[in-house]
Structure 1
């Protein structure tokens, strides 16, 4: 695989997303456009099959001028689903109540410095009453970030309508009995363990699970299988999940995740729109100061190249 955020990955993504515009997104957006209503943004849910599930369709682009692009995410609110059946099941779950309950897991293995700083800032700024487990920049954590701590939270009352943020490593092993997992302190939490974790048996789980981890929406069971860490959390009762399609660069990811929580909490956007607005901010659309953004993260944000697809396009929204 190309290095995380390296020029080869960027070149491949440029070619793929240029193709994706003409292959599917241009006719799709044309069909849902509203002439005379530029303020109307369609909400589309894509159910891509096979290898098409590895394409970030929201990052499909057309060239609008010298050095200028326009991406699908600028014209539509795009989410994904593993199947129509799972989409209907999630849509039928009761709307989440607004809550400050959260579990934030930051750098539990001790080798993701930016992820640890990101998670620390997320908990302090947006979920001061929530729990932090793992390693943080300053102050004490509420735990080491073990698989048992995450499972206990998912099975407990605090998870209902709460937010789970996981800033850690993820791995995918092709055709293995345990195909995908999150690297936590002292062990791995596998997708297969998550599907039965919710105390609400698929109805009363977290409002949002945000997987700031590499390849957290990639299947290890072949292209036509929909079993990923992201879909496992949906099966476990989550209403929305954000997962990634490739190894994501740590620095840019920390900015995108903090912005997503900002729009979710400060501006009360639903998860899909919060992620979209964060990605638009990364693209430079309305980019401006974000209240409360730590100076170090603000400096990182200023260095983000809007046309570096590896920095922002890998994250997808699933669920309601």
Structure 2
């Protein structure tokens, strides 16, 4: 057997051990549920697991490395849902440059589950079994989840991997038919290692971003990209208390004009972390938390920020 591809995965020793032993002992389950926070390696673990499973069979009909083919999603015995084309996303900076607003999160529909059923209806061509990976399994519609349940009951010569943030986010009847593989946020050393390995060492210079990430390299990278998308002068003005009521109102107006709701919610997180690390001011943290709740309740953003920044100004001048 080739070297263990799980060497590319950092800080998930329990998951690595469970999946590696399943392949080595030829006890691969019909279905797995990879649960844990976004950005901690669940999708990478799925690719490593499939590579380890498929590498026991010598490829003779196709050229190119197994790792490359799996990464590109063009192995005949692998179906990744959503497809790689569907999963393409812009970074926060790219979206800001194109002046795009956030769209509603896509869901996995029953038509995609029917594609899975059709895919599994034929025997594997090269690998020991067919494998289906369903990312964001928590977004399945009820009809899709019920349709998938029938497939899980009789998977045939296949293994399905569902990826979700928690067992509670997926239909209980699906959870009961899957072997659960837990994933966790990384410790500081592991997070640092991943950011350095992936060329994102500059993020380590931003403590507030690292705090928001909560042990998730993926979240750290996404958060840093969001940081780059916010005007530098605005960010500098917001990381210190408003100097006057007029200044507070001007900042609120600029936030409303320059940032969409998603960016404003991120900004709340960033300012909470920044103010806490700089000054340990509980009252300001409380004001910002109220701003978050108001934004989530679809209150008028400019009014939310006017109230928040005016309150912060009062706190500093009292």
TM-score class, shorter-chain normalisation, is under 0.3
From the two aligned structures, give the one with the greater strand fraction.
Answer: 1
- Structure scoring higher RCO (CA < 8 A, sep ≥ 6) equals 2
From the two aligned structures, give the one with the greater helix fraction.
Answer: 2
Normalised TM-score (structure 1): 0.27
Normalised TM-score (structure 2): 0.27
